Structure 1
Amino acid sequence: MSHTAHIRSHRKPRRSASTIAMRAGVAGGVLSTLAVAGASGSANAAEPVTQTLELPTLTADLAAQVAQSADATQQAAANYELVAERDAAAAQAAKKAKADLAEAKKKAAEEKKKAEEAERKAAAERAERSAERATLSASADTGSSESTGSSSVGSTSTSTATGSAAAVVAFAQAQVGKAYVSGATGPSAYDCSGLVQAAFKQVGISLPRVSQDQSTAGTQVGLSNLQPGDILYWGGAGSAYHVGIYVGDGMFVGAQNSSTGVVKASLSYDPPSGAVRVL
């Protein structure tokens, strides 16, 4: 027996073919499993990459939507602001129009009040003049009767009048005592211009209807150069408020007012403003 026979061999024992094959199979299975796991892991690892690649596209679309929404919001705000400005301008215009209307009404009321006051004043002045004329006319008629008798009116007015002027004077004197009615032209009542128009109609002369126009119907003459038949006027030429007929000897006939009617009076108590000669 060898002296080394009792020593265990340091060599590794031989493996059998079946053991090797089994181990190889196990190893192969493990490797296959690892490969599948690796493949699966690779596949699983690829998913985030795919999602990461899609994120920029989704983010761009979202940004575009946000931008569009912001633009729409800004446009809506601008529209609201424009509407607000228009409403404010309309309200301001309405307020100004209302103020202007109120001011116009106030001015119109003031003008109306002034016009009414002027009319009242003019009416009072006319009434005062009419009262004075009535008083002076009565005095003049009384003095004439006492000095010359009841027939002096006719002889005085016709003594210096001739032709058409005499006819005008005669007609005017024949109306003395008749009523005064505003707008009347005879034969039972007259106003001042109606009497003058009717008197000249007797000799075929057509005069304007109102005092203002009659005061410019002929040639202007001075009050110191009057002739019977001249038209006397009170007020301005073209704006006269009263007319009468000069009948001679400083006397005239006129339809004065509703209190006195048609009278014959002296020029001295209410001197006329001017005269026109038609004949």
Structure 2
Amino acid sequence: MLDRRQFVRTIGLGAMAGIGGVGSQIAAAAESEGNADKSKVARLLPGNCAYSYGKDIQQGKMTLEDVILLAVEQKLAAVDMTVYYLKNTTPEYLHSLRLLAYKHGVAFSGTACRSSMVQTTADKRAAVLNEIKGWVDVTAQLGASQLRVFAGKLPDGATLQEATGWTVEGMKAACDYSGSKGIVLGLEDHQGVTQTSDVCIEIMQRVNHPYASINLDITNFIASPTQDAYAQIAACLPYASGNIHIRDHFYGDDHALVDMERVWKLFAQAGYQGYVSAEYEANFPGCLPPSTGVPKLLETIKTLCRKYSSA
């Protein structure tokens, strides 16, 4: 994890004022000891998620092997392996992907599953925990170090407080298991329960586990009168480790463009060290198809990584 105290010193009081309500959370978090074994110089490594080519993979036009080899052509450091595109989970197949990536100097920045911990019954929550454990095992076989998970959407009749508690309970148990394999669990700020920085930070603080992190997606936060998306990104960066997902448009009816330069400045100010992976999604009218949209997004990511990173 990033050192909260150093993060506050680096970002400065002016930026803290701009963050608004989130600023007090960061300042409070800065009082904790943090992890002192990392340099605070930003190290930003460009990557791509297999999800960026999801439709082509599902339609049989591409394979995960193609995504790995394409990363070589695109001069990327890593690929995020979206597990729902795996042909199967046999050791032979997983090891073949791992070997192919190794032979071409491509790291796996992580894996990503759809498992959602917000379930209304204990039996359903236990089933999801077993599902996550299975994906942890797959992640270990692939040689990746992080698995992305979801909290999920708020069920009818449930309160946000209840859903947060279920997520904390699930994360604690899942992190105990993933930690035994050396795998970090990255909880994404996905649509639903974890779509605000307040909830994401509360979960991280309550879980309080060395193998728990936020798998930050810069486009999913819901803005409030006091906390825009950029303030929430800044608030969550001290809890983000290893892998951040990048899109160039925010979710929402207007699909507003992300100020990518502003986001990379936040990464640099926080001293973030890890992968920044394109997760392209052609999800609204007029957006570019992956064949042109993905390379365009990757060029932006690579340019900004060169500008703001020590790597």
Q: TM-score, normalization: structure 1?
A: 0.21
Higher-Rg structure is 1
